[in-house]
Structure 1
Amino acid sequence: MEEVIVERPAPYIAVVRLNRPQARNALGQALRAQLAEHFGALGQDDAVRCIVLTGGAQVFAAGADLRALVDSGPIEALLLNNQRMWQAISSCPKPVIAAVNGYALGGGCELAMHADIIVAGEGARFGQPEIRVGIIPGAGGTQRLARAVGKFKAFRMLLTGQPVSGREAFDMGLASEVVADDRVQARALELAAEIAALPPLAAAQIKEVLLAGQDAPLEAALMLERKAFQVLLASADKKEGMQAFLDKRTATFKGA
């Protein structure tokens, strides 16, 4: 059985769906390898302008596969080079929306934080419970969480291992939107359709500049923004978008 399924529900939109329901979408090695492969391909696919990442309507991902970790040592972990699999997601140039229902724990929470937008259900549960089994997050959980919610809220989650609800995640800055559980998947697709209808070159530049600039000094980040702004002035989509605005019609963007 494929542990990751890619669907194309609408033009320019791809849905990447985790498919290990019997293990609550635990992030085993095969699943992570398939995720990396799909994100690498979708990132280079001109027919894709936005990606929705989900585990489905019941659970997002319940974390790492502890059965594979219980006897694992440092050399085995080093040789796996798992950071390369995660990097395929973090470096994807297309906007990524995580649609989170149910558990997003440990590696599942880290996976959601690799997205650019998180749509959470009211009943979602975000957490980094690694401390409860004697380890710490190993795929960016400490660093991305602190950058998203701040030092003090991150420490509370990391040092207690206690999860937060979808509503709490939104209030603390860990989710972009919170909606009723039965609206999560539809809302993520609505956002994806809205983004996919906009200029893909501009979307890619927004993502690149925001991520590159968030840890850079302000002046350096502003320089990156100016350069991206100047580059986009040469795009056909800029001409189409501005002319359509003046003509009071809907623009058609071609990614050129």
Structure 2
Amino acid sequence: ELALACDLRVASSRAIFGQPEINLGLIPGGGGTQRLCRLLGYGKAMEMTLTGETVGAVEALDIGLVNKVVEPEELESAAMALAENIARKSPYTVKVAKRAVRAALDLPFSEGVLAERSEFVALFDTEDKEIGVSAFLERKDAEWVGR
């Protein structure tokens, strides 16, 4: 359930994922049923929750449960590389992007598109947009200010 609460997941090739609580006469109690269904869809979430069966790392990647699979000795460096990639982006724009993507879970499509458009237009008035465009045109790294 902890992995399901993360925006992105990098897994070791030896990782195993599942919802084994049913084998104990329980169900996931930390949001696992809700997050799994939103992430994988109703059918796969129902299968994993009702059977308690696990999936390996490759299948987890195939079904969208994880974003990347690496060998165990590469796990920390791969996770750090992903985090560092995101950290090089405008922190304000990352926050807005996450909010826009999350809206897809909560809003009907037509409202989500309007929310996205509103966020997109608002970013044109930010310092980070000016910094990003200038850095792109000058072919240099942006030095974000977060606003």
Indicate whether the TM-score tops 0.5: yes
- Give the alignment's TM-score, normalised by structure 1: 0.56
Q: Return 5+ residue gaps in structure 1 as ranges.
A: 1-109
Partner of 2:111: 220
Shift of 1:178: 0.9
Whose RCO is larger (CA < 8 A, sep 6+)? 2
Rounded Cα–Cα distance in structure 2 between residues aligned with 1:162 and 1:178: 20
CA deviation vs aligned residue, 1:54-107 (integer Å, no higher than 9, x gap): xxxxxxxxxxxxxxxxxxxxxxxxxxxxxxxxxxxxxxxxxxxxxxxxxxxxxx
Match runs of 1:172-251 below 5 Å: 172-251=63-142
Rounded Cα–Cα distance in structure 2 between residues aligned with 1:111 and 1:212: 21
**Root mean square deviation of aligned Cα:** 1.1
**Paired AA for residue 242 in structure 1:** V
8 Å Cα contact 2:38-2:105 kept in structure 1: no
Rounded Cα–Cα distance in structure 2 between residues aligned with 1:184 and 1:131: 30
- Give the alignment's TM-score, normalised by structure 2: 0.95
Shift of 1:163: 1.2
Shift of 1:184: 1.2
8 Å Cα contact 1:199-1:253 kept in structure 2: yes
Runs of 4+ in 1 over 6 A off after TM superposition: none
Match runs of 1:58-77 below 5 Å: none
Partner of 2:13: 122
1:132 is aligned, of 23, 34, 39, to: 23
Q: Identity over the aligned pairs, expressed in percent?
A: 41
Q: Return 5+ residue gaps in structure 2 as ranges.
A: none
More strand by proportion, 1 or 2? 1
8 Å Cα contact 1:213-1:224 kept in structure 2: no
